[in-house]
């Protein structure tokens, strides 16, 4: 059994190495370093770099602030219907970022449903900022919400007894306990926005950011070498966030007692208005985009019509959808198995720091860079034109979060199960099958949902790797966007949203049912 374990560990380590580091290494080796000086000296590259930082800093600030206030509303106020609010807040995560950008265009472009009456146009810098906030605040919300759940509520009682002011309490308890979650959220959001090209492509206008610059270098001018160099720049914020994740110490403790918010009507009312305001804005943007799918022609004949649906259907919607479903299911199944196994070794066995680092290193690599590295490293291999490479790139791209979910869940379990197994002469395999896995079913389902939903919406990693047979549905959106067929792009986004709602919804319902059964027992 020991030998088998070592074999499994070795295989997992090898897998991670071959799919994460090897392609990056090959890509970097093929750089023509003369291109480096050409790129740096180009004024427009420097401008794109500066633009990226500017837009990302501002959007991150807004995104985190909104997410914080939302998380605070959910955990520290006396609002009703918190479960529903939580679901609504995370709904924007079910469609690609480019769809948010296109939604913004339809709502607040020059001829937007809203902006045309007020004569303004969001395209450009502010379009990118708002679009980026729209699709990242749910991510930040989830991280911060999780963080709020770990604050020891007895500390608040202590502060009350000691006579601290609200501000002192906030500083000494809330802010301190949330530090890691806050920094985690900031880095995650910064990386997401810095490396995204969906929103700037849709609503950026002539405000060029680094990912769009990269896209045009590779897709327009076929400059793979400078594309790789730009990728290195895109890795910078991700690299820092990943380092932070490894070295940051966690000072939180778990508290059995749940927090009961104090009674404060005004605070509750103001935060409620804020929350509903944010939700309203988000759904108006999404709504106006989906609206386009059902309208014949916004300019010439704005009548209800399903022509755009039939157009997309005639153009192989079903086969692209099948491709996406096939890829997403495979990614979800194999991704969950792989990340769970890796987490099992790193969480329950203390000698695997290197595997832990490798597993979360995919956090540091933007999808576009990963896709490009796979194109450069694997384009002469047999599986390049198959589904396998798309499944592989998605698993690697999205592995870090599910891995961490599994890691945290496995760490929480009693550390003595394996010892019981050893003492009672039960093989680790059976302990895993009969004890560990059944007690982490909820987490496994969440991991599955995460892999599935993100595979359905991803564009960046697969943009370089697909071909006619394997093209996933999500890639239809930038295709239609390029031809400014907004209605068709809306149809595709709508279909993706429905599929994701179905899967995420069923899993959430299953998990809630299980939780209820447990409490009833």
Partner 1 sequence: MKRSRVGEGKITNYFYLVVVLFLSVFVGTSCSNQKNSIVIYTSMEEDRNQALKEEIRKKFPDLNIKIQYMSTGNSAAKIKSEGKRIEADIIVDLENAHMESLKENFADLSAFDTSQFLEDVIVSNTYYPWTTYALSLFIDKKYFDAKGWDIPKTYEDLLDEKYKNQIAMPDPKTSGTGYAFFLNAVNCMGEDGAVAYFKKLKENLREFTASGSGPTNLLKQGEISMALGMISQGVSAINEGYDFEIISLETGVPYNGTSIGIISGKETKEHVKEVFTWLLNDFNKFDKENYLPSPLFKEQTNKVKNYPSNLKYADMTGIEDSKTKDRFMKIWSEING
Partner 2 sequence: MANMRIENLTKRYKEKVVLDQISFTVKDGEFLSILGSSGCGKTTLLRILIGIETCDSGQILKDGVDITKEDTKKRKMGMVFQNYALFPNMTVLQNVMYALYIKIKKKEEAKRQSMDMLKIVGMAEHSHKYPHELSGGQQQRVAIARALVLKPEVILFDEPMSALDADNRLVLRKELKQIQKKLHTTMIYITHDQEEAFSLSDRVMVMHNGKIEQIDTPHVVFNKPASTYVESFVTKHLKEKVSSIEKCAGIDL
Q: Which residues bind partner 1 (CB under 8 A)?
A: 42-45, 47-48, 105, 109-111, 116, 121, 123, 201, 204-206, 208, 213, 216-222, 224, 298-300, 315, 375-376, 379-380, 382-383, 385-388, 427, 429-430, 467-471, 479, 482-486
Partner from partner 1, partner 2, none binding residue 318, C-beta < 5-8 Å depending on class:
none
- Answer whether 440's CB lies under 8 Å from 406's CB: yes
* Nearest CB to partner 1, comparing residues 232 and 279: 232
Backbone φ/ψ region at 205: left (φ over 0), alpha (ψ -120 to 50), beta: left
- Answer whether 132's CB lies under 8 Å from 62's CB: no
* Nearest CB to partner 2, comparing residues 2 and 222: 2
Give the nearest distance from C-beta 434 to partner 2 in angstroms: 7
SS in 3 state form for 397-416? HHCHHHHHHHHHHHHHCCCC
Q: Over the range 401-425, which residues count as b (16 or more CB within 10 Å of their CB) and which as e?
A: bbbbbbbebbeeeeeebbeebeeee
Please list, in sequence order, all residues whose beta carbon lies within 8 angstroms of the beta carbon of residue 269, skipping any fewer than 6 positions away: none
In this structure, what token pair is assigned to residue 67?
């997410």
Q: What angle do CA 23, 331, 363 make, to 5 degrees?
A: 50
SS3 of residue 180 by DSSP: helix
* Nearest CB to partner 2, comparing residues 273 and 420: 420
Residue count, binding to partner 2 (CB under 8 A): 17
Residue 516 in the binding site for partner 2 (CB under 8 A): no
Residue 302 phi/psi, 5-degree rounding, is: -75, 65
Among 34, 254, 303, 425, binds partner 2 (CB under 8 A): 425
Distance CA 222, CA 245 (A): 35
Give, for 297, the enclosing helix (H) or strand (E). Answer: strand 295-297
Partner from partner 2, partner 1, none binding residue 521, C-beta < 5-8 Å depending on class:
partner 2
Please list, in sequence order, all residues whose beta carbon lies within 8 angstroms of the beta carbon of residue 365, skipping any fewer than 6 positions away: 20, 24, 235, 238, 397
Partner from partner 1, partner 2, none binding residue 205, C-beta < 5-8 Å depending on class:
partner 1
Partner from partner 1, partner 2, none binding residue 416, C-beta < 5-8 Å depending on class:
partner 2
Among 18, 318, 420, 502, binds partner 2 (CB under 8 A): 420
Residue 416 in the binding site for partner 2 (CB under 8 A): yes
Calculate helix-pair angle for 387-398, 400-412, nearest 10 degrees: 50
In this structure, what token pair is assigned to residue 79?
């609002």
* Nearest CB to partner 1, comparing residues 231 and 401: 231
Alpha helical stretches, state H, 109-175: 115-118, 125-149, 154-162, 166-169
Question: In which residue are the tokens 């914020």 written?
Answer: 237
Give the nearest distance from C-beta 486 to partner 1 in angstroms: 7
Give the nearest distance from C-beta 432 to partner 2 in angstroms: 12
Q: What angle do CA 279, 284, 289 make, to 5 degrees?
A: 135
* Nearest CB to partner 2, comparing residues 307 and 414: 414
Question: In which residue are the tokens 């919300």 written?
Answer: 141
Binding to partner 2 in span 23-82, by CB under 8 A: none
* Nearest CB to partner 2, comparing residues 292 and 417: 417
Give the nearest distance from C-beta 137 to partner 2 in angstroms: 36
Burial class (CB in 10 A: 0-12, 13-18, 19+), 151: buried
Give the nearest distance from C-beta 6 to partner 2 in angstroms: 16
How many residues are there in the chain?
521
* Nearest CB to partner 2, comparing residues 33 and 519: 519
Partner from partner 1, partner 2, none binding residue 438, C-beta < 5-8 Å depending on class:
partner 2
- Answer whether 238's CB lies under 8 Å from 366's CB: yes
* Nearest CB to partner 2, comparing residues 166 and 433: 433
* Nearest CB to partner 2, comparing residues 183 and 426: 426
Partner from partner 1, partner 2, none binding residue 276, C-beta < 5-8 Å depending on class:
none
* Nearest CB to partner 2, comparing residues 227 and 421: 421
Partner from partner 2, partner 1, none binding residue 419, C-beta < 5-8 Å depending on class:
partner 2
Among 434, 467, 505, 506, binds partner 2 (CB under 8 A): 434
Residues of the shown chain interacting with partner 2 in the complex, contacts defined by CB under 8 A: 414, 416-417, 419-420, 422-426, 430, 434-435, 438-439, 518, 521
């Amino acid at each position: 059994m020991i030998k088998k374990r070592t074999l499994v560990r070795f295989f997992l380590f090898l897998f991670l190495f071959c799919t994460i580091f090897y392609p990056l290494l090959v890509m970097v080796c093929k750089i023509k370093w003369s291109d480096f000086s050409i790129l740096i000296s180009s004024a427009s590259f420097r401008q794109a770099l500066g633009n990226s930082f500017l837009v990302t800093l501002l959007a991150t600030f807004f995104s985190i602030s909104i997410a914080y206030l939302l998380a605070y509303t959910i955990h520290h106020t006396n609002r009703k219907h918190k479960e529903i609010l939580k679901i609504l807040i995370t709904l924007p995560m079910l469609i690609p970022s480019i769809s948010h950008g296109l939604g913004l265009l339809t709502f607040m472009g020059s001829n937007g449903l809203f902006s045309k009456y007020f004569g303004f146009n969001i395209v450009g810098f502010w379009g990118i900022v708002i679009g980026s906030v729209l699709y990242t605040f749910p991510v930040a919300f989830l991280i911060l919400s999780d963080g709020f759940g770990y604050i020891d509520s007895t500390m608040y009682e202590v502060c009350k007894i000691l006579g601290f002011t609200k501000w002192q309490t906030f500083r000494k308890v809330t802010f301190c306990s949330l530090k890691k979650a806050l920094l985690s959220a900031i880095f995650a959001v910064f990386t997401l926005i810095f490396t995204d090209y969906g929103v700037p492509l849709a609503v950026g206008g002539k405000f060029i950011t680094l990912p769009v610059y990269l896209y045009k270098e590779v897709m327009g001018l076929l400059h793979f070498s400078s594309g790789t160099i730009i990728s290195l720049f895109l890795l910078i914020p991700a690299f820092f966030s990943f380092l932070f994740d490894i070295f940051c110490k966690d000072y939180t403790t778990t508290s059995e007692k749940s927090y009961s918010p104090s009674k404060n009507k005004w605070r509750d009312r103001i935060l409620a208005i804020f929350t509903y305001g944010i939700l309203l804005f988000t759904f108006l943007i999404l709504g106006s985009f989906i609206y386009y799918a059902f309208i014949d022609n916004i300019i010439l004949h704005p009548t209800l019509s399903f022509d755009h649906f039939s157009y997309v259907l005639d153009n192989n919607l079903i086969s692209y959808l099948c491709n996406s479903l096939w890829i997403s299911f495979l990614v979800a199944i194999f991704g969950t198995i792989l990340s769970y196994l890796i987490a099992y070794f790193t969480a329950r066995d203390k000698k695997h720091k290197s595997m832990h680092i490798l597993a979360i290193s995919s956090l540091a690599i933007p999808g576009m860079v990963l896709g490009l590295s796979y194109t450069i490293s694997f384009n002469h291999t047999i599986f390049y034109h198959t589904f396998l490479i798309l499944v592989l790139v998605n698993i690697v791209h999205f592995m870090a979060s599910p891995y961490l979910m599994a890691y945290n869940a496995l760490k929480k379990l009693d550390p003595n199960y394996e010892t019981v197994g050893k003492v009672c002469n039960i093989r680790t395999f059976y302990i895993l099958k009969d004890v560990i896995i059944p007690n982490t079913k909820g987490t496994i389902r969440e991991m599955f949902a995460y892999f599935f939903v993100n595979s359905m919406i991803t564009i960046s990693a697969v943009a370089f790797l697909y071909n006619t047979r394997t093209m996933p549905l999500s890639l239809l959106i930038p295709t239609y966007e390029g031809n400014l067929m907004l209605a068709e792009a809306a149809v595709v986004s709508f279909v993706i949203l429905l599929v994701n709602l179905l899967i995420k919804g069923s899993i959430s319902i299953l998990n809630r049912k299980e939780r209820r059964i447990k409490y009833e027992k």
